[in-house]
Chains A and B, each alone.
Chain A
Amino acid sequence: MAKKEYDTFCDDPTTLGEGKVVIAIRELTPDNPRKKYLTRYVEAVISKEPEKMPDADILWLRWQRGRLHPKPWAIKVQAEKGEFLA
């Protein structure tokens, strides 16, 4: 099964943390193509070493002004956290 892809915006990846986090992500590979780029706040497990989570999905990082980080992270979405920032 193809991995799902998401992205998040972050200027300093060290502030993301690894393991279980609450994070804002954008859906990049939705079943309905119209839903691409919608934002969700989720609880997820993330890692900057995708090889340590081989069954996880892909999490791309973008700098806050839109440029793409070259190396993706891994993500396993575990729960939805609502529409708004806490």
Chain B
Amino acid sequence: MAAKDYREFITKLEKVGEVVHVEREVDWDLEVGAITRRANEMGLPAPLFENIKDYPGFRILGGPVANFRRMAVALGLPAETSIKDMSNKYYARSQKRIKPVIVKKAPCQENVVMGDDVDLTMLSTPMGADGDGGRYLGTWHTVITKDLDSEWTNWGSYRQMIHNEHIMCGLIAPFQDAGKMQAKYVAKGLNMPFVTAIGDHPCSVLAAGTPLGVGEDEVELAGALIGEPVELVKAKTCDILVPARAEIIIEGEVLSPEVKVDEGPFAEAHGYRASPRMPRSVYKVNCITFRDNPIFVFSSTGVPMNDGYVTAPLHGGEWKKLLLDQGIPVKDVYVAPGGPVVVSVKKFYSNIANHVACLIWGSKNGFLHTHIIVVDEDVDPFNMSEVLHALVTKCHPLNNIHATLMVGATLGSFLSMQDRTYLRGAAVVFDCTWPLDWNPYTEVPTRCSFTGIYPKEVQEKVLANWKKYGFK
């Protein structure tokens, strides 16, 4: 059973040795970020900082799900659960969405600050890295916005930087759900209400990052992943329902797109600080509510590993469903952390790799997956050694690598600034499958593996006697 909130999650992490309580005083200005980054890169437990300079009474949790063990615990699974099993569990649960429940009283509103008392610097937001554009309050969080014309409520994950005491800023692209919603408000001369929830549940950001369709509520997916309804409470200053067990809630309005402030640079999800400081959307804050002794949750984005890389493979189930629904003979899909999408197929028609790639690239978040590798069904996509072996041994450098123009990601690190500004991108598919016009007996090379070059009875005999040979 998954934890109900971050406090229960931390208790579960303690039981599997995945949290370190840092009681020594640490500085929110770079030190917290540096500790978390190093812990991430070394695969160490999540640091829970309990003594923060300038912020008595506040705590910070860094990298809550920056390794697969912690992600498993967040899903209520044993820490040793394999990535493949986690991905399958994610997919199975995501098919049975659970509607949220509304409560009248909530821990997230134990403390309320409104109007002229609002001061974003009262929160223990780390200065994550030297050279970042500011203190990033939104790095592992959900931004909640409501459609003007319907009951559709979107949970997204849009990074947010503190500009001054009552203004945050960040990128909202017009093609993102929040951008589409904002367009309706702007058309009527209105500011768009928003809520930022920090520390609601580890699975919330996982749900917020899933490419659901227009009109689908991520909170129902979050409930499905947690295994029970998410509790919501009405915000103090707008009609948006917010996660009742969140550590910190920030309420306000997104101002007209004509109003901008500088935002960035920031260590971005792909591991680089690729985009320069640029004019971005303005979030004007009207209210801050928080739990007693709040825990500020943040992700140290950068090179692998971090929380975003860990959640990526779990979305493989979404791609698998998309491809299966279109009749592609998919065996499995793996979204490698910080790496390509790998799809294994039972190939029975030529150019199936391009077909797979076109379907992924043509869907909602497909433009984010610029590198796709398609392998035969005898290659395990979750085994990168096998995948790389297939890449080098089966992918003809001239015939099997197909690049194409694509919608560009605004944060694409290999794109020029000009290309990123105008969303001009590119993508490539690596076809690592044997050609169908090769004779399977005389032309397709024989795979020299335990399962490939020994008769079945010999394999069975060896497996049956494995421990008797002295192997453990």
How many residues on chain A are close to B (CB under 8 Å)? Answer: 22
Whether a CB of chain A sits under 8 angstroms from the CB of B259 is yes
Q: List, in ascending order, chain A residues with CB within 8 A of B274's CB.
A: 65
Contact A66 B132 (CB under 8 A): yes
Inter-subunit contact A67/B131 (CB<8 Å): yes
Whether A64 pairs with B134 at a CB distance below 8 angstroms is no
B260 contacts the other chain (Cβ, under 8 Å)? Answer: yes
Query: Which residues in A have their C-beta under 8 angstroms from that of B162?
Result: 37-38
A45 interfacial by beta-carbon distance below 8 Å: no
Q: A9-B262, A66-B131 are in contact. Are A39 and B121 (CB under 8 A)?
A: no
* A40→B133 CA distance, assembly (Å): 13
* Complex interface residues of chain B between 256 and 310 (CB less than 8 A to chain A): 259-262, 265, 273-277, 279, 282
Distance in Å: Cβ of B225 to nearest Cβ of chain A: 35
Residues in B neighbouring A37, C-beta threshold 8 A: 127, 134-135, 162
Check A54 for interface membership: any CB of B closer than 8 A.
no
Main secondary structure of the interface of B (DSSP, over half): loop
Contact digits for B48-68, partner A, Cβ 8 Å, 1 yes 0 no: 000001110000000000000
Which of B99-107, B163-171, B343-351 lies at the binding interface? B163-171
B261 contacts A85, C-beta separation under 8 Å: yes
Determine the chain B residues whose CB is within 8 A of the CB of A76 once the complex forms.
Answer: none
Residue of A whose beta carbon sits closest to that of B124: A34
Encoded as 1 (CB less than 8 Å from any B CB) or 0, chain A from 26 to 43 comes to 100000111111111000
The chain B residue with its CB closest to the CB of A67 is B131
Cα separation A44 to B325 with both chains bound (whole Å): 61
A-chain residues with CB within 8 Å of residue B165 when the two chains form the complex:
38
Contacts of B134 in A (CB 8 A): 26, 37-39
Residues of A within 8 A of B130 (CB): 66, 68
Closest to B259 in A: A84
Contact of A39 among B53, B54, B262 (CB under 8 A): B262
Q: A9-B133, A66-B129, A83-B167 are in contact. List 18 more A-B contacts (CB 8 A).
A: A9-B276, A9-B277, A32-B121, A33-B53, A33-B54, A34-B55, A38-B164, A39-B134, A39-B164, A39-B262, A62-B131, A65-B275, A66-B131, A66-B133, A66-B265, A83-B261, A85-B260, A85-B279
A-B CB proximity, top 10 nearest: A66-B131, A64-B276, A34-B121, A9-B277, A65-B273, A38-B164, A66-B265, A65-B265, A37-B134, A85-B260
